[in-house]
């Protein structure tokens, strides 16, 4: 009898241990998640409804949010990002698909060397490459020197309201194309070669194969890259901060750069938090629509 009791006890203890295991496994993450994510997210909401004065919060209701609507700087920043988004992301993704396909081609020699070259920009940290581009694109920098060789007069990349956005786009494209190439290469390599054999047997030429097999197979990855790039562009900070400081005349100001100026140069914590929340909502809406459209197949 005693033995049976012992066994039962043992089993119960084991069961308890078995049941507590998943909680113990998630506990460290949940603890950090609660302290450094959930709490700040809620705290930010409170700050955004307040005025921050000398370390004290004063309830201000929707004051901060209502201020945003007449704040042309924020909207200008948003428009700047949207312009960059609409031009840079498609150009980059088209380049990435193109180069990924070429780098995957069986006819390409020195393949691994070329792939390494495309990989290199990923390893250069954003500040370092932005600094490098700040003199590549300077008035007497490399790009203008090269343009001079073919008789084009220097372009004021960093000092004109039009070209400053282009400068940011060039730097971003340089850094991120390789990253997307690598992801797409992974996708291309996971397409079974038998599929191409079969397509060839069925009489599909390379162009037909490309559009009715390769692109559809890459679609999920392209959608992912498209959404990640959109989110990344709306959160753009380092490139404009280093290259142009948002100038000239706020022509390359971005929402996050503006948020940084408001929060940490003017120390308007309440307003900066409201800006952050509005940006979060805008990003959520855009991602939602992108998912919607891409699922219905009207974009990709």
Partner 1 sequence: MKSSRFHLSDVWLHAIVFIGFVASIYPVYLMFVSGTQNNQQIFGMTPDLLPGHSFLVNYKDLMSNAGFNIYQSVGNSVIISAVSTILAVFLATLAGFAFAKYRFAVSKGLFQVILVAIMIPPQVTLIPLFVMISKIGLANSYWAIILPATVSIFGVFLMRQSFLSFPDELLDAGRIDGLTDFGLFLRIVLPLSKPALSSLAILTFLGSWTNLLWPLVVLNDSSSYTIPVALSTLTNTVTQPNYGMMMLAASIGTIPMLILFLLLRRNFISGIMGGYNR
Residues 38-57 that bind partner 1 (CB under 8 A): 38-41, 43-44, 47
What is the x/- site pattern for partner 1, positions 19-38, by CB under 8 A? x-xxxxxx-xxx-xx--xxx
Extract the tokens encoding 254: 């971005």
Extract the tokens encoding 263: 């929060």
Extract the tokens encoding 71: 């704040």
- In whole angstroms, the minimum distance from the beta carbon of 86 to partner 1 comes to 19
What stretch of H or E contains 19?
A: helix 2-33
Residue from 163, 242, 246, 261 in contact with partner 1 (CB under 8 A): 242
- Yes or no: say if 253 and 80 are a contact pair by the CB < 8 Å rule: yes
Position 259 contacts partner 1 (CB under 8 A): yes
- Yes or no: say if 91 and 173 are a contact pair by the CB < 8 Å rule: yes
What stretch of H or E contains 182?
A: helix 163-189
Size of the site for partner 1 (CB under 8 A): 94
Binding piece for partner 1, criterion CB under 8 A, among 72-80, 81-89, 159-167, 237-245: 237-245
Instruction: Name which of residues 56 to 95 contact partner 1 (CB under 8 A).
Output: 95
In the chain, what's the furthest Cα-to-Cα distance?
A: 101
Binding piece for partner 1, criterion CB under 8 A, among 2-10, 78-86, 150-158, 183-191: 183-191
Q: Which residue has the tokens 């392209």?
A: 222
Nearer to partner 1, 1 or 24 (CB): 24
**Counts for the chain of helices (H) and strands (E), in that order:** 14, 2
Nearer to partner 1, 260 or 293 (CB): 260
- In whole angstroms, the minimum distance from the beta carbon of 132 to partner 1 comes to 5
């Amino acid at each position: 009898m005693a033995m049976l009791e012992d066994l039962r006890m043992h089993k119960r203890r084991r069961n308890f241990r078995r049941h507590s295991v998943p909680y113990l496994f998630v506990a460290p993450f949940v603890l950090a998640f609660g302290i450094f994510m959930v709490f700040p997210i809620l705290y930010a909401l409170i700050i955004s409804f307040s005025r921050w004065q000398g370390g004290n919060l004063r309830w201000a209701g929707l004051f901060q949010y209502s201020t945003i609507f007449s704040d042309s700087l924020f909207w200008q920043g948003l428009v700047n990002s949207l312009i960059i988004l609409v031009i840079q992301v498609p150009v980059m993704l088209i380049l990435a698909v193109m180069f990924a396909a070429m780098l995957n081609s069986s006819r390409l020699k020195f393949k691994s060397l070329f792939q390494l070259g495309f990989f290199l920009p990923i390893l250069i940290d954003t500040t370092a490459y932005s600094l490098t581009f700040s003199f590549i694109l300077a008035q007497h920098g490399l790009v203008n020197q090269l343009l001079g060789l073919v008789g084009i007069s220097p372009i004021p990349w960093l000092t004109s309201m039009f070209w400053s956005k282009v400068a940011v786009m060039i730097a971003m494209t340089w850094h991120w194309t390789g990253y997307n190439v690598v992801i797409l290469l992974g996708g291309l390599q996971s397409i079974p070669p038998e599929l191409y054999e079969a397509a060839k047997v069925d009489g599909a030429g390379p162009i037909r194969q490309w559009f009715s097999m390769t692109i559809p197979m890459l679609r999920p990855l392209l959608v992912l890259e498209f959404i990640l790039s959109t989110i990344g562009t709306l959160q753009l900070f380092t490139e404009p901060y280093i290259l142009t400081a948002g100038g000239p005349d706020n022509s390359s100001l971005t929402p996050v750069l503006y948020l940084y100026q408001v929060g940490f140069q003017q120390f308007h914590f309440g307003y900066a938090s409201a800006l952050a929340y509005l940006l979060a909502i805008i990003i959520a809406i855009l991602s939602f629509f992108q998912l919607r459209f891409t699922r219905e197949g009207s974009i990709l």
